[in-house]
Amino acid sequence: MHMNRREWLRTAGTAAGGSLLAAGCAGTSAAAGEARRPNIIFILADDLGYGDLGCYGQKVIQTPNIDRMASEGIRFTQCYAGSTVCAPSRCSLMTGLHTGHCWIRGNQRVPLRPTDVTVAKVLKDAGYATGLMGKWGLGNEDTTGIPNLQGFDEFFGYLDQGHAHNYYPDFLWRNQNRVPLEGNVQSKTDEGVATEKKVYSHDLIAQEALDFIDRHHKEPFFLYLAVTTPHANNEAGRALGDGMEVPDYGPYADQTWPNPEKGRAAMITRMDRDVGRVLDKLKELGIDGNTLVFFTSDNGPHKEGGADPEFFDDNGPLRGIKRDLYEGGIRVPMIARWPGQLLPGHTSNHVWAFWDFLPTAAELAGTSAPDGLDGMSMMQAFRLLGLGGVKRMAVQHEYLYWEFHEGGIKQAVRHGDWKAVRLGIDQPLELYDLTKDLGETTNVADQHPDIVKHIETYLQTARTDNEHWPLKS
């Protein structure tokens, strides 16, 4: 049962120091600001579609804990990932820059540089304990991009996105050391495929996240929990025909579905279980009201490992999947939960993107974000939502921009309610009115040449050159 607005406002002042969204507000003493600074947890799923959660319309896959998180917080319907694949999306999230400006714009093994400033660096410098549990993808061993050189005090998981395909690897990383996983034996002929499976990596990562919270709950902390579910093991899919690796099919074991679909559903439900464990841990430690938890996905749903995104309607009402710049590839579920601070059970259509997270986290921590970011703090939006929400907020992007370099150069722009997609550097812009055509079925570029021309001006200035990802026909 949801509280009404009056009941909620009457009780909200008891949480997090008794002041609505006190974190990041000016005029507090250093000591008071330190006491009120919230913990920040960012949970990032891997290849989870907009339609994969019950609270976003999923009818079959069970996600009771994430649905509860939405009922206790804000469900955003127009939040966008940094990209339509893993590494650039995570780079945008970490650095506050969209893919026209961030250093990593594709899934090549290009590491972050010493000059790149991540949200972890910003929060660490502000006195936060910082931890990454899960998948990194922004720098392999012996490079400048490893998590411990990019602001994370603690890291456990996968450095390389290819290594992260394998849910039964023979090692994971703890900081800069390999941790053997006893009982997982790798195939001698098929790289990335385990022939003996004992230790499921997702379970270890989830437990490490809980342990990090235990260790640091008495001080401000930032936990980036980047789970690998429900990404496929692409290599196992090619070798075995089923790359949706999971210890068991859970509540779906008796279904007559193809095994990859059982596996995908079970992976999502298993992930949901561990989101619930994180929320329960916060309550157990008495820090629930001083912790802002985000949940989202790095891009749209995949068609890998034998899975079919049509089977569960993974992208919901949206067109496209992973590797598309249509909405289904980049619009993602986003839930923000902060008991006593954000009005529970609220749905917001506010438009924002991954590159807004860094400046938002900086303001929450009472510190400054680097200059020159593409992102802007969403704290004003959160304050308004804390007070009950408004339809249109003052914090608005003039436009959002994406570029993607696999299979030719693709670009996309969101400007107001207009969405433009270019499927090749020499191709004309497609234009869609998202208020009337959420599924991007009808290209109306010919009917609105003024809008197309206006968006073309954004494309002329939306990016800087990058030696690894140049614009070329």
Tens of pLDDT, residues 52-104 = 999 999 999 999 999 999 999 999 999 999 999 999 999 999 999 999 999 99
Mean pLDDT of the chain: 92
pLDDT score of 3: 44
Whether the per-residue pLDDT at 429 is higher than 50: the answer is: yes
The pLDDT value given to residue 380 = 83
Span 297-342, pLDDT tens digits: 999 999 999 999 999 999 999 999 999 999 999 999 999 999 999 9
393 pLDDT band, cuts 50/70/90, is low
Of 13-27, 112-126, 168-182, 435-449, the one with minimum mean pLDDT is 13-27
Go through the domains of the chain in sequence order and give each one's CATH number: 38-397 (3.40.720.10), 401-461 (3.30.1120.10)
Question: What is the pLDDT, as a whole number, of residue 24?
Answer: 40
pLDDT level of residue 394 (50, 70, 90 thresholds): low
C-alpha–C-alpha distance, residues 41 and 337, integer Å: 10
Predicted pLDDT at 472 = 79
Q: Which residues contact 30 (CB under 8 A, 6 or more apart)?
A: none
Q: What is the pLDDT of residue 184?
A: 98
Q: What are the C-alpha distances in Å from 367 to residues 35, 120, 129?
A: 14, 12, 15
pLDDT at 26 exceeding the cut of 80: no
**Contact residues for 302 (Cβ-Cβ < 8 A; gap 6+):** 47, 231, 232, 309, 321, 322
pTM summary value: 0.93
- pLDDT digits over 371-385, tens only? 999 999 998 888 777
Category of 90 on φ-ψ map: left (φ > 0), alpha (ψ -120 to 50) or beta: alpha
Instruction: Write the pLDDT tens digit of every residue in 129-159.
Output: 999 999 999 999 999 999 999 999 999 999 9
Residue 313 and residue 242: Cα distance in Å, rounded? 19
Contacts of 238 (CB under 8 A, 6+ apart): none
Cα separation, 123 vs 109, whole angstroms: 26
**What are the Cα distances from residue 7, in Å, to 2, 106, 151, 343, 387?**
10, 47, 40, 11, 12
C-alpha–C-alpha distance, residues 115 and 81, integer Å: 23
Which pLDDT value is given to residue 354? Answer: 98
Which residues does 182 contact at the CB level (< 8 Å), separation at least 6?
198, 199
Closest among 64, 53, 72, 58 to 1, alpha carbons compared: 72
For 90, counting Cβ atoms within 10 Å of its Cβ (0-12 exposed, 13-18 middle, 19+ buried), the class is: buried
CA distances to 279, 410, 468 from 473, in Å: 48, 11, 15
The answer to whether 16 and 22 are in contact (CB under 8 A) is yes
Class of residue 27 by CB neighbours under 10 A (exposed 0-12, middle 13-18, buried 19+) = exposed
Residue carrying the six token digits 């790289």: 191
Question: CB under 8 Å to 178, separation ≥6 — which residues?
Answer: 171, 172
Give yes or no for a contact between 333 and 297, defined as CB atoms under 8 angstroms apart: yes
> One-letter amino acid identity for 204?
L
Q: Residue 135, exposed/middle/buried by CB under 10 A (0-12, 13-18, 19+)?
A: buried
Please name the amino acid found at residue 309. Answer: P
Higher pLDDT, 9 or 222: 222
> Peptide bond before 344: cis, by omega within 30 degrees of 0?
no
Q: β-pairing, 154-158 with 346-348?
A: unpaired
pLDDT above 90 covers a percentage of the chain that reads 87
Query: What's the longest Cα–Cα distance across the chain?
Result: 64
Total residues belonging to the chain:
473
